[in-house]
Structure 1
Amino acid sequence: MNTQTYQIAHRFREVILNGTWIANTNYKDQLSGLYWEIATQKINSLNTIAVLAQHIHYYISGILNVFNGGTLDIKDKYSFDFPPIQSQNQWEEFLNKFWNDTERFAVFVEQMPEEKLNDVFVDEKYGTYRKNIESMIEHSYYHLGQIVLIKKLLLQNR
C-alpha cells in the first residue's frame, strides 16, 4: 500500500513504536524496560523523561479524541501538567496506554480518505488534518531527542 495516508501513518509509527530511519531509535526503544525512578528523575530545570513522554501522549490523545468525533480539548498550558508517576506499575500502565493510543492514531490516519488530509482540522486557525498529523510527527521527534539526551545523562552516572 502506498497511499499518502498510509505513508504518514507509517512515519508516525516509526517515531513512537518501531522506526529507526530518522533518529536511529524511537520512543518504545527508549522507554521500554526503563525503570520509573529513572524516568521520573529530575536533572536541574530539565523536564523528566516521564513528563516528556506524557506531553507527547497528551497531544496524541487530544487529536485522537477529534478523530473519534470528539472536541479538541487540549491546551498548551496544560501539556506538561501530569500527576507524578510513583511506581513501576504506574509507569508501565502509562506506556501501554501510550503505545495503544499511538497505534489507534496510526490506524485512523491509515484508513482516512486521502482527500481528508486537506480538510480543516476543527477550525481554520489549526490548519488541515495533514498539518496537524505531520506536526505531531515533528513534535515527537523533537522531544525524542531530548529524551535520548536526558537518558544518557542519567545513565552515565550509574
Structure 2
Amino acid sequence: MSSASQLAKRFREVLLDGLWIANTNFKDQLKDVTWEQAVTKVGPLNTIAMLTYHIDYYIAGLVNVFEGGDLEIRDKYSFDLPPIESQEQWEALLNKLWKDSEKLASLLEQLPDPKMDEVFVDEKYGTYRRNIDGMIEHAYYHLGQVTLIKKLLAN
C-alpha cells in the first residue's frame, strides 16, 4: 500500500469509520448529537458545533489545495461558525464534514508517493506528508474534546 493510501486510511479512521486509535471517530461521536447539544456551551470550552466547523474548515482548505487551488484558509477564521438554529442546519454542517472528509481521503489516495515529500504550498508549511499527518493529529485532538464535551453534556 502506498504512503498516500496509508495516510488516507488513517484520515478516514479518525473522521469516518475507524476504531483503532481512539476506539471511536467523529462520525460515531456526532451521530446522535442534536443541534441543541451541538451549540450548548460548557464553561469556557468550545461547543461541539464550533469544533465540528473548525475541523471541516481545515479539511475544506486542504481539499481546495489538492484540487489545484490556493491555500485560502486562515487560523483567525477557523472558528467563525455561522449560527446554528435548527437540526437541519446542524445536519448540513455534519454532511459537509463527511463529504469534505471523503473527498480529501479520495484525493489523498491519488497522490503519487514522491509528491508526499514535496513542499506543500510554501516551504514554511513543510511537506504534503507533514500537513496530512498534522491534519490527522489535529482531528484526534479535537475528537477528544468532542468526546469529553458530550460526556459533560450528558451529566
What pairs up with 1:82-97 in 2 under 5 angstroms? 82-97=81-96
Q: Report the alpha carbon displacement of residue 32 of structure 1 after superposing the two structures with TM.
A: 1.3
What pairs up with 1:28-67 in 2 under 5 angstroms? 28-67=27-66
Which segments of 5 or more consecutive residues in structure 1 lack a partner in the other structure?
none
* Identical pairs, percent: 62
Q: Report the alpha carbon displacement of residue 47 of structure 1 after superposing the two structures with TM.
A: 0.1
Output the amino acid matched with 1:113. Answer: P
Partner of 2:147: helix, strand, or coil?
Answer: helix
Partner of 2:19: helix, strand, or coil?
Answer: coil
What pairs up with 1:105-120 in 2 under 5 angstroms? 105-120=104-119
Partner Cα separation in structure 1 for residue 131 and residue 78 of structure 2: 16
Count of aligned pairs: 155
Output the amino acid matched with 1:140. Answer: A
Q: Report the alpha carbon displacement of residue 81 of structure 1 after superposing the two structures with TM.
A: 1.1
Return the TM-score normalized by structure 2: 0.98
Partner Cα separation in structure 2 for residue 136 and residue 146 of structure 1: 15
Question: Which range moves more in the overlay, 78-87 or 122-131?
Answer: 78-87
Partner Cα separation in structure 1 for residue 68 and residue 3 of structure 2: 22
Output the amino acid matched with 1:88. Answer: Q
RMSD: 0.6
Partner Cα separation in structure 2 for residue 71 and residue 4 of structure 1: 24
Output the amino acid matched with 2:95. Answer: N
Which segments of 5 or more consecutive residues in structure 2 lack a partner in the other structure?
none
Output the amino acid matched with 1:129. Answer: Y
Q: Report the alpha carbon displacement of residue 66 of structure 1 after superposing the two structures with TM.
A: 0.5
Partner Cα separation in structure 2 for residue 40 and residue 30 of structure 1: 15
Match of 1:68 in 2: 67
Partner Cα separation in structure 2 for residue 12 and residue 106 of structure 1: 7
Partner of 1:121: helix, strand, or coil?
Answer: coil
Q: Report the alpha carbon displacement of residue 45 of structure 1 after superposing the two structures with TM.
A: 1.1
Q: Report the alpha carbon displacement of residue 33 of structure 1 after superposing the two structures with TM.
A: 2.5
